Amino acid sequence: MPNQLIIFTRYPEPGKTKTRMIPFLGENGAAKLQQQMTEFTLKKAKKLQKNMFLSISIFYSGGTEQLMRDWLGEEILYQQQSNGDLGQRMKLAFARSLSILSNKVIIIGTDCPELNSTILSQAFEMLSCSDLVLGPALDGGYYLIGLNRLIPELFQGINWGTSEVFEQTQAIARQLKIKVGYLLPLHDIDRPEDLSIWDAIANNYSEI
């Protein structure tokens, strides 16, 4: 079975995405940023796909499947995100993919431009000897989570969207005695003050 990379994203409808950026960029500017960051992430995923047996899935919210296909192309699998908080949505995405498509599944978002194909490849390699792979974000969350089997406890009792997410996930992993592989800590682009990081990376595509 192929390795499976799931990208969580949102259709870039003005006013409904990147809401923390709206006071700085405006509704249209924030939606444009969502569009650019998703396309940037997908470009890195496709680069990885050239070097390994990899299936790419887009789990989206907002919009429709046809709008997503018109935007990002036909050669990708599309799945609407389930209801519930982020943990519930990720748990169900893992459950679906681990049961049907793959025994190595990684979920990423589109907010980490420092994440490149080399780090993604390393994450898949770690899943050969770890139950869980985490890419810690410098804001206290994580930019990547990978599993080779479903561990539903990892998605319960987490204060999503806070600086406690990574620490709480680690605590659950320790309680369950799960073997964890760790990637390099990277920046997430969530607030206006983070945009300088995005600009520096996005303007140099050779780095991905």
pLDDT digits (tens, 9 = 90+) for 64-94: 999 999 999 998 999 999 999 999 999 999 9
Q: Which of these, 76, 16, 87, 1, lies nearest to 41 by C-alpha position?
A: 76
Q: What is the DSSP letter of 2?
A: -
Phi/psi of residue 61, nearest 5 degrees:
-125, 155
Exposed (0-12), middle (13-18) or buried (19+): which is 94, by Cβ within 10 Å?
Answer: buried
Give the SS3 label for residue 38. helix
* The pLDDT of residue 1: 72
Is the pTM above the cut of 0.75? yes
Q: What is the pLDDT of residue 206?
A: 53
Q: How would you list the strands of the sheet with 132-136, edge to edge? A: 77-80, 54-61, 3-10, 105-108, 142-147, 132-136, 180-182
Give per-residue pLDDT as tens, 133-148.
999 999 999 999 999 9
What's the confidence (pLDDT) of residue 103?
Answer: 86
Strands 3-10 and 105-108: parallel
Domains of the chain: 3-200 (3.90.550.10)
Mean per-residue pLDDT of the chain: 94
pLDDT of the residue at 100: 79
pLDDT score, position 208:
42
Closest CA to 112 of 11, 44, 163: 44
Residue 128: DSSP 8-state: T
- Which segments of the chain does DSSP mark as H helices, in order? 22-49, 65-72, 86-100, 117-126, 165-176, 195-202
- Residue 126 burial (CB count, 10 A): 21
pLDDT at 13 over 90: yes
